[in-house]
């Protein structure tokens, strides 16, 4: 069994409009844009990162905005809901704020004894806020949401699967423990996690596969402390029969990827070196940062990419 994983690192999704996406995550949700860069494999597309002050692993929501992308079709084999942690008693504030912002899909419910508010992102992305007592992660309060309400980071992500069996085995191999099961959803938690500690698995045997598009989660990444621990995880996964990519330098972390039995793409990402490796903390996310191999495209990209605030 692997003991190196510390919870979620980031969640990466697809969007249609960069400016709409940027406005929603900074103005409405109050997160900080911690990096404005481009997709390594498609440098004419942004890669936008939102999180807490420094983009602490476990707080980072990232997007690839493709201007003409088709809408995704929800289904199985994907992450259904990405859930942020907010303080107890703050959901009334968030209901007002999201209503005023025109967010769709507002619905309050309770799961595993926690109060939750569902809402949709700009492309129909499935999100929820959940009230958590004593989440001591420091919030970003620079975008108009106060400390009594601001998002602390991720709480969990839920996966919709036709059959949970092999994915449950994988999560246990990754160090997760089953902590609860109710209403067709099994909750797994990671001991000693970074706060973004839970994965919910929802079994939907009769639902067809999702089609990736705007509003879909592309992959979820799990955090490990450093490159040495990442290599240990990679070896353990490969020894168990998973096809894992080589280690890839993503400038702000190191990444490996593998496809899980239920169809969801998993990444293991390092906490090092972090988003302040090429910008001061005070100015994170302001300048367009380009991977070294795409720096020669800067002039063309600055003309081509949609301006965002
Ligand atoms: Zn990633």
Region 96-124: what's the mean pLDDT? 97
Region 3-18: what's the mean pLDDT? 98
* Overall pTM surpassing 0.85 (yes/no): yes
Whether 104 contacts 59, CB under 8 Å: no
Q: How far apart are CA 13 and CA 305, in angstroms?
A: 18
CA of 253 to the centre of ligand 1 (A): 9
CA of 70 to the centre of ligand 1 (A): 21
Whether 138 contacts 93, CB under 8 Å: no
Q: How far apart are CA 153 and CA 273, in angstroms?
A: 19
Angstrom distances, CA of residue 1 to CA of 157, 224, 260: 22, 15, 16
CA of 252 to the centre of ligand 1 (A): 11
- Structural domain boundaries of the chain? 8-304
Confidence of residue 100 (pLDDT cuts 50, 70, 90): very high
Whether 272 contacts 223, CB under 8 Å: no
Region 256-275: what's the mean pLDDT? 97
Torsion angle, alpha carbons of 9, 84, 156, 71, to 10: -90
CA of 267 to the centre of ligand 1 (A): 6
CA of 219 to the centre of ligand 1 (A): 6
Tokens 């926690």 identify what position?
114
Tokens 């569902």 identify what position?
118
Angstrom distances, CA of residue 14 to CA of 11, 47, 62, 67: 10, 10, 9, 10
Whether 28 contacts 80, CB under 8 Å: no
Q: Could you tell me where the DSSP H helices lie in 108-223? A: 165-173
**CATH number, domain 8-304, options 2.60.120.200, 3.40.190.10, 3.10.180.10, 3.40.50.10490:** 3.10.180.10
Region 293-301: what's the mean pLDDT? 97
CA of 152 to the centre of ligand 1 (A): 20
Give the whole-number percent of the chain exceeding pLDDT 70. Answer: 100
Q: How far apart are CA 131 and CA 117, in angstroms?
A: 9
Region 43-69: what's the mean pLDDT? 97
CA of 60 to the centre of ligand 1 (A): 10
CA of 121 to the centre of ligand 1 (A): 19
Confidence of residue 125 (pLDDT cuts 50, 70, 90): very high
The residues, any chain, with a CB within 8 Å of residue 194's CB and separated by 6 or more, are: 6, 7, 8, 56, 57, 58, 153, 223
CA of 58 to the centre of ligand 1 (A): 12
Give the whole-number percent of the chain exceeding pLDDT 90. Answer: 99
Q: Is the pLDDT of residue 56 over 90?
A: yes
Q: Is the pLDDT of residue 108 over 90?
A: yes
8-state DSSP, 52: S
Whether 40 contacts 253, CB under 8 Å: no
CA of 63 to the centre of ligand 1 (A): 10
The mean pLDDT value of the chain amounts to 97
Confidence of residue 82 (pLDDT cuts 50, 70, 90): very high
Confidence of residue 17 (pLDDT cuts 50, 70, 90): very high
CA of 93 to the centre of ligand 1 (A): 31
CA of 96 to the centre of ligand 1 (A): 32
Region 219-233: what's the mean pLDDT? 98
The 10s digit of each residue's pLDDT in 166-220 is: 999 999 999 999 999 998 999 999 999 999 999 999 999 999 999 999 999 999 9
At residue 47, the pLDDT reads 98
At residue 309, the pLDDT reads 79
């Amino acid at each position: 069994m692997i003991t190196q994983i510390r919870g979620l690192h980031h969640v990466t999704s697809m969007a249609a409009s960069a400016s709409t996406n940027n406005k929603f995550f900074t103005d409405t949700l109050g997160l900080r844009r911690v990096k404005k860069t481009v997709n390594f494999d498609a440098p004419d597309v942004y890669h936008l990162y939102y999180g807490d002050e420094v983009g602490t692993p476990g707080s980072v929501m990232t997007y690839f905005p493709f201007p003409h992308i088709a809408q995704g079709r929800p289904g199985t084999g994907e992450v259904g809901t990405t859930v942020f942690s907010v303080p107890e008693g703050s959901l009334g504030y968030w209901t007002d704020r999201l209503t005023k912002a025109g967010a769709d899909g507002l619905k309050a419910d309770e799961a595993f004894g926690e109060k939750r508010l569902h809402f949709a992102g700009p492309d129909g992305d499935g999100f929820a806020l959940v009230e958590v007592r004593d989440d001591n992660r420091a919030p970003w309060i620079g975008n108009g949401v106060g400390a009594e309400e601001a998002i602390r980071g991720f709480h969990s992500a839920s996966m919709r699967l036709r059959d949970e069996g092999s994915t449950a085995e994988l999560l246990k191999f990754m160090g997760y423990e089953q902590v609860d099961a109710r209403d067709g959803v099994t909750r797994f938690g990671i001991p000693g996690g970074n706060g973004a500690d839970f994965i919910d698995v929802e079994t939907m045997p009769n639902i067809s596969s999702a089609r990736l598009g705007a509003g879909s989660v592309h992959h979820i990444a799990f955090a490990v402390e450093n490159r040495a621990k990442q290599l240990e995880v990679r070896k353990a996964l490969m020894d168990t029969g998973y096809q894992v990519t080589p280690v890839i330098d993503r400038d702000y972390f190191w990444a490996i990827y593998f496809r899980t039995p239920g169809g969801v793409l998993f990444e293991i990402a390092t906490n090092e070196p972090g988003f302040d490796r090429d910008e001061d903390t005070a100015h994170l996310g302001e300048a367009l940062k380009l991977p070294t191999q795409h720096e020669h495209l800067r002039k063309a990209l600055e003309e081509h990419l949609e301006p965002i605030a």
